[in-house]
Structure 1
Amino acid sequence: MTQKKERHLFLGGNTYRGFHSFYSYIINKETANKVLCLKGGPGTGKSHLMKKVGAHFLDKGYSVEYHHCSSDSNSLDGVVVPDLKIALLDGTSPHMIDPIYPGAVDEIINLGIALNNDALSLNKKYLINIYKEISTNFQRAYKFLAAAKPIHEDWSKLNSKALDYSKFITICESLKEEVFIKQKSGFGDERHLFASAFTPDGIITFAEDLVSEYTNTFILRGGPGFSKSKILNELGSLAQKKGYFVEYLHDPFNPDRIEHILIPEISTSIVTENEISKSSFKGKTYNIEDFCNSSVLLSNKSEIEYDKNHFEELINKALFLISEAHRIHDDLESHYIKTLDFTILDSVYNDVIQKLEKYI
């Protein structure tokens, strides 16, 4: 496996349960050298600082992980330089991350010191109303995503009625034989993140780029109800039992489900082509419908189509509201940016680089 210099993922997601975070998996705090937790209001340059730090270490030849924000995929929630065991995190709402090992590992960087709070207080009522409007749009978006859940379940149930489990089990057994040629000792570690997310720009996925560096790719193709996540859970669990580290990439709609798994030590990815992220991969493909009773699918075709259309309608409404929240947030940021002292931000950036370069 040729390691890419850049990896792009999502730390959190806008799901049917609301905002769901995998922040605890960005870096192992017990083995990390330094984790900087960035605090400060909107527009204080947290994402900009992380991008500059990422570019700095890329230029020095290090691989960098960019963890994007699901509320604005062009912004960052975190940056990690794995070889140096260092990370920067956005510690503001909705993440609300605080140091676990203050001083020893974690340190708070307050970008709010560059703000002119007196100037902001003059627009207090207006700013508070903007915050409330952003929150209202997100809460409405989550309600539409939640409303889509039972429809998705009905769609899944209709599909699952057609699944021939006696044939279906051959997929699991075939994958086990092809993937796990050799075994390591011990029990493998795990990491949980999102490769895809509901964002203001629609459903964004980095899965195709993440998988492109893997030598072996196995694809599970099919809509909801075809037990793709069940297969991934079983294979991931088996991989860990055989001593391999597994990266679980969760479903952006339902974080209880797995969308893809990556097993870097054997350069193997097992991915899904599904109804949400609609990714397309190259590799050995298992089309789940080939293991189904086609007559059952045909008899339920109109009901399946009904569920599909209503599910997509609700998802699109949620995406519109997330986009509205982002539009309003841009207005909020503009008020904060007007009060910034950029010389202070430059000083903070230089200080951050000095702190992190100690670990080279």
Structure 2
Amino acid sequence: MIHQDAVNKAGAYIEAQKIISKLLGNINVSKKIGKVRKLFASAITPKGFVNHLDSVIGCNDKVYRIIGEPGTNTSKLLELIMEDAIKKGLDVEAFYCPIDPENKIEHLVIKKLGVVFITTNDFHDLKVVNSQIIDMNKYIDYTILNQYFDVLQYDYRVFRELLETAITTIHDAKKSHDYLETLYIPHMNFDKVKQSEDKTLERILKYAEELNI
């Protein structure tokens, strides 16, 4: 709530319009909308917070790094760009936040244009030579945030502690899982497993072919 009160919500629309005009302005609305492929580029794992932003960037020519504190509507910015891209017939890859996968896009790739948008923060960052910066922090009224400095520091500290607890719990669960595997593996018929895998893959490929995916 504190960040919501301190952030100019028009910022996401202003920055999105700049990007859309620059990259998509000359592309007309298509009779066939583009497809959205939903993915993850980062995860909370037994080893901690892991990301593969380098694979997201891939061989794309234009890289935009989005910088923004919590509440600066970085996800809304990407949603607006994505919506314009797909209505103009461009396929996109949308990478979602593992903490809030229902609502928050963190990264976006438009392969046909060779463009990738990377949201950077304390948990995932990647230094890219010649990347262009979109600074969403310029839409923050810091006179409001500074009034709640101690509260925000406390909230951040608690968030990190909860995240560390989650990672420890996942790590302990992985250890238990690995131990159970040592009990099951000697008694598994992996030939049967492979047969089941092949049948399942055949069904998936047939289904994909019918849907022309």
Q: TM-score range by the shorter chain?
A: 0.7 to 0.9
- TM-score of the aligned structures, taking structure 2 as reference length: 0.81
The Cα shift of 1:319 comes to 1.0
The Cα shift of 1:208 comes to 2.8
Cα–Cα, structure 1 residues 246 and 312, in superposed 2: closer, same or farther, change >3 Å?
same
The Cα shift of 1:187 comes to 1.1
Cα–Cα, structure 1 residues 278 and 293, in superposed 2: closer, same or farther, change >3 Å?
same
TM alignment of 1:201-350, pairs within 5 A: 201-255=47-101, 256-275=103-122, 277-282=123-128, 283-340=131-188, 344=191
Contact 2:37 2:93 in 1 (8 A): yes
Contact 2:9 2:72 in 1 (8 A): no
CA distance in 2, matches of 1:176, 1:205: 27
Residue 158 of structure 1 pairs with residue 2 of structure 2: yes
Q: Which has the higher helix share?
A: 2
Q: Which amino acid aligns with 1:286?
A: I
14, 30, 55: which one pairs with 1:170? 14
CA distance in 1, matches of 2:35, 2:12: 28
Contact 1:219 1:284 in 2 (8 A): yes
SS of alignment partner, residue 187 of structure 2:
coil
Q: Which has the higher strand share?
A: 1
Contact 1:259 1:271 in 2 (8 A): yes
CA distance in 2, matches of 1:320, 1:335: 23
The Cα shift of 1:232 comes to 0.8
Q: Which amino acid aligns with 2:114?
A: S
Contact 1:208 1:279 in 2 (8 A): no
Unaligned stretches of 5+ residues in structure 2 = 203-213
The Cα shift of 1:166 comes to 5.2
SS of alignment partner, residue 270 of structure 1:
strand
4, 26, 34: which one pairs with 1:182? 26
The Cα shift of 1:167 comes to 5.3
The Cα shift of 1:297 comes to 2.4
Question: Matched residue pairs, number?
Answer: 198
SS of alignment partner, residue 303 of structure 1:
helix
Q: Which amino acid aligns with 1:240?
A: I
RMSD, matched Cα:
2.8
The Cα shift of 1:229 comes to 0.7
Identical amino acids, percent of aligned pairs: 25
Contact 1:208 1:281 in 2 (8 A): no
Contact 2:63 2:116 in 1 (8 A): yes
The Cα shift of 1:261 comes to 1.2
* Cα shift readout 1:162-200 (whole Å, capped 9, x = no counterpart): 223455543122111222143263311111121111111
* Cα shift readout 1:246-279 (whole Å, capped 9, x = no counterpart): 111111000121111111111111221134x322
Unaligned stretches of 5+ residues in structure 1 = 1-156, 356-360
The Cα shift of 1:280 comes to 2.2
Structure 1 stretch displaced more, 319-328 or 295-304: 295-304
SS of alignment partner, residue 265 of structure 1:
helix
CA distance in 2, matches of 1:199, 1:168: 31
Contact 1:219 1:273 in 2 (8 A): yes
CA distance in 2, matches of 1:189, 1:227: 23
SS of alignment partner, residue 6 of structure 2:
coil
Contact 1:188 1:242 in 2 (8 A): yes
Contact 2:53 2:126 in 1 (8 A): no
CA distance in 2, matches of 1:165, 1:193: 26
Contact 1:220 1:271 in 2 (8 A): yes
Contact 1:183 1:243 in 2 (8 A): no
The Cα shift of 1:320 comes to 0.7
Cα–Cα, structure 1 residues 307 and 207, in superposed 2: closer, same or farther, change >3 Å?
same
